[in-house]
Structure 1
């Protein structure tokens, strides 16, 4: 058993003290090649700090060794010592053989600290020095994909895909499918998802393909792939939502509702599934079930505006004024900049004869609801009932502007002009 094997066995046995003792013995014996191999083994097992220590000791012996600088910089990046890592990498000069590798390592650094354009410039410099190196082209495509420049990434992935199925552990058809989908080119993504699934079925690609079919309005094919996914992995929660949405797009509301409920059975804490189930129940004229789902969504997230508006709309339709006022007051809807909720408040307060609050809410709602004829009609009648004729007139005039065939109100305006 050689030194590397012995140390690996010690590592597997979990004897860290013995590991440390043996590393110190190697350092004292000047077995530098063995030390380098041990450092790389430690990295493979996740012992980055110990590997960095070895690299630092080796650099004391070989201070000009570029590969050691790159290796230690990679370890330092893993340890969060980015500045020290960058100093090592920038110490490698352009005339050294490892310069291209150093540029790629610098790109990793800049990407890690959020400087995507600088990272990309380093990769492009490396590509200029080694234009036919596919791994560098791949690195460039990966950075373009991460920075949202999907069409540029696709061009490079396509070229690489012509010569390689896989490169540096990356399946190029997978990246093409991802890049096309991220750029909303779903039709172009579909053949690459199909290519991947012909070789091996896995949940991520099945979902991606299902989403691509959904986005291209091929709902039966989306459902087929999503159901296939859920047979493989019943806990792939987002697939329940997308399956239900696919049925909803085909106006198969009962099937949609069943799929949303199946998703809730697997994950009752998904507020979006609760909302989708609530809306489906409303379409199926199941108000009690809808109310339950919408209330659950708001329990999960009291600031979930879509659920709040939908439940408030349900209470408004049913004229459940006490529940409506309680809901909106609890949610502090009067503080939200949502005119429809202010209108609901106004209607509820008017029906419960709290006319002062109703007036306040009508005023809040008006600017955002002045293109809604039904709201304007109700607001105008309220103002007239309250004896606020001067305020009612501009509301009625606005109503007639957007609904000129409202004879009652055109006659009112004409009468007002005669009286005026």
Structure 2
């Protein structure tokens, strides 16, 4: 290790000229084992070109050493020198002990560029040579996972569980949880998330465990995971929404409102937080708070249809007609038009006794709401009140088709 100190110092200083000089001298003075160790050290520090240079030197000294070709090929792939890498890998003889590893490296390359069938062929060829090698089976499971073959991937990973100690650096229970979740098999994923959390309580794992629990209506479990998550990482923004939703599903609306307002305190530019806070406030009968949250959502996104529709409905329900018209005018200044607002505006102008404007919006709404019986009923009586009998007849005919069991429309037509 002492011989490596000059290299480490040069790498830490970023002195490329000094590093190149030391490497050149070491290629003459160092022994092959030390040179191989240096190549590994250079790779760790990100000096890939220099590492390749040393491996090329060693390859010259030991032309039959297949592992050197594999190491060099992997570094060439990192440098986007695919042709060199493929030449090195395909030059390895099938009788070599390193041939299965070469096949696996080729599979990684083909998987990376999206040639999944070729990648699977290479992995299968390697497995045929070493049938029970955990790393090869795991690689196949990963490939199946990436290509959406979740059940096949899960089967392989479950078969590997007794050998999980052989897969250093791999959290097999977590991988199984991710595979089952990706295939929407959340019930199967939950115990594996729990197992993974015994090894490490990581924020991402807590969130996905909560999400899986939420999907199968285990809301209390989801809440526990999320509270733990937000205690560990208060800036894990997605956790606030899911926590609010889980509480809402249990009708714990005050807790839901607190969760989402905590989220707003952390991220005041997330429009979905304000929308959810508005909805929960309405459920709690906190109309002023609901209006405030919805206005904040629209301020962040003037074309946020969900928030606009709920605020419009609130104004219409309370017959706050002037505010409804004002909201529409403000949106219009932003060049925003939405036909779902027209029925509300028609009723608002009618109540305000601006009948010409009401008629204008009734006609606009009629285009997109011919299957809405409730709207058509209001429109009919408005037209009759305004003396527009011919237009009223057309709307009544539509209502007869929509509600053939309702005798009102047939009597009205007569």
Give the TM-score, by structure 2 length. Answer: 0.86
Match in the other structure for 2:112:
112
2:26 is aligned with 1:42: no
Structure 1 equivalent of residue 51 of structure 2 = 51
The CA distance in 1 between the partners of 2:341 and 2:68, in whole Å, is: 64
Q: Secondary structure at the match of 2:126?
A: helix
Counterpart residue number, 2:103: 103
Gaps of 5+ in 1: 416-420
- Residue 150 of structure 1 deviates from its aligned partner by 1.6
Q: Deviations over 1:16-69 (max 9, x none)?
A: 332111112234558554333222211111222332344455556666654333
Q: For residue 122 of structure 1, what is the aligned residue in structure 2?
A: 122
Separation in structure 1 between the aligned mates of residue 300 and residue 4 of structure 2, nearest angstrom: 54
Deviations 1:317-362 (CA, angstroms, capped at 9, x unpaired): 343332332254256453x6xx534544555566653257425522
Name the CA distance, whole Å, in 1 between partners of 2:12 and 2:116: 39
Partner of 1:227: 227
Residue 246 to residue 53, structure 1, CA distance change in 2 (3 Å): same
- 1:322 matches 2:325: yes
Post-superposition shift, 1:5? 4.3
Report how far residue 273 of structure 1 moved: 1.6
Q: Which moved more, 1:280-289 or 1:62-71?
A: 62-71
| Higher alpha-carbon deviation: 223-232 or 237-246 | 223-232
Deviation (angstroms), 1:104: 1.7
Partners of 1:15 and 1:138 lie apart in 2 by: 40
Matched, 1:257 2:257: yes
**What is the Cα deviation at residue 178 of structure 1?**
1.4
Does structure 2 conserve the Cα–Cα contact (< 8 Å) formed by 1:294 and 1:311?
Answer: yes
For 1:418, the equivalent position in structure 2 comes to: none
Q: CA deviation at 1:309?
A: 3.0
Aligned with 1:170: secondary structure?
coil
For the 8 Å contact 1:312–1:328, the answer to whether it is kept is no
CA deviations on 1:119-165 (whole Å, 9 max, x unpaired) are 33332332233221100111111122222222111101100013325
User: Who is 2:207 aligned against?
Assistant: 207
Greater mean deviation of Cα atoms: 244-253 or 343-352: 343-352
- The 1:72–1:358 alpha-carbon spacing in structure 2 relative to 1, beyond 3 Å, is same
Q: Which moved more, 1:153-162 or 1:299-308?
A: 299-308
Q: What is the aligned partner in structure 1 of residue 296 from structure 2?
A: 296
Give the whole-Å Cα distance in 1 for the aligned partners of 2:190 and 2:236. Answer: 20
| Distance apart, 1:116 and its partner CA | 3.4
**CA 1:28–1:265 in 2, change beyond 3 Å: closer, same or farther?**
same
* Structure 1 partner of 2:72: 72
Counterpart in 1 of 2:153?
153
Call closer, same or farther: CA 1:366–1:43 in 2, change over 3 Å.
same
Spell out the pairing of 1:272-283 with structure 2 (5 A cutoff).
272-283=272-283
2:340–2:365 contact (8 Å) kept in structure 1: no
| Structure 1 CA distance for aligned equivalents of residues 200 and 349 of structure 2 | 61
State the shift of 1:79 in Å. Answer: 2.7
Evaluate the alpha carbon distance shift between residue 166 and residue 102 of structure 1 in structure 2; reply closer, same or farther with a 3 A threshold: closer
Asked whether 1:236 is paired with 2:239, we answer no
Separation in structure 2 between the aligned mates of residue 292 and residue 238 of structure 1, nearest angstrom: 22
1:182 alignment partner in structure 2: 182
1:271-291 C-alpha deviation (Å, 9 max, x unpaired): 222221121112222233223
* SS at structure 2 position matched to 1:181: helix
Determine the C-alpha separation between the residues in 1 that align with 2:407 and 2:143: 63
Q: Tell me, yes or no, if the aligned pair for 1:312 and 1:327 is still in contact at 8 Å.
A: no
Which stretch of the first structure deviates more once superposed, 195-204 or 126-135? 195-204
Q: Structure 2: how far apart are the matches of 1:330 and 1:166?
A: 65
The Cα of 1:172 is off from its aligned counterpart by 0.6
Q: How far apart, CA to CA, are the structure 2 residues paired with 1:83 and 1:364?
A: 62
Which whole-Å CA distance do the structure 2 matches of 1:166 and 1:394 have between them?
76
Q: Does the 8 A contact of 1:348 with 1:358 survive in 2?
A: no
Go from structure 1 to structure 2 and tell me whether the alpha carbon gap of 1:246 and 1:391 turns closer, same or farther (over 3 Å shift): same
1:40–1:51 CA contact under 8 A, matched in 2 = yes
8 Å CA contact 2:342–2:361 kept in 1: the answer is no
Choose 373-382 or 263-272, whichever is displaced more.
Answer: 373-382
Alignment deviations for residues 248-300 of structure 1 (CA, whole Å, 9 cap, x no partner): 00112122111100111111122222221121112222233223322333343
TM-score by length of 1: 0.85
Contact kept? 1:298, 1:308, Cα under 8 Å = yes
Distance change >3 Å, CA 73–CA 297, structure 1 → 2: farther
Structure 2 counterpart of 1:412 = 412
Distance 1:342 1:358, change over 3 A: closer
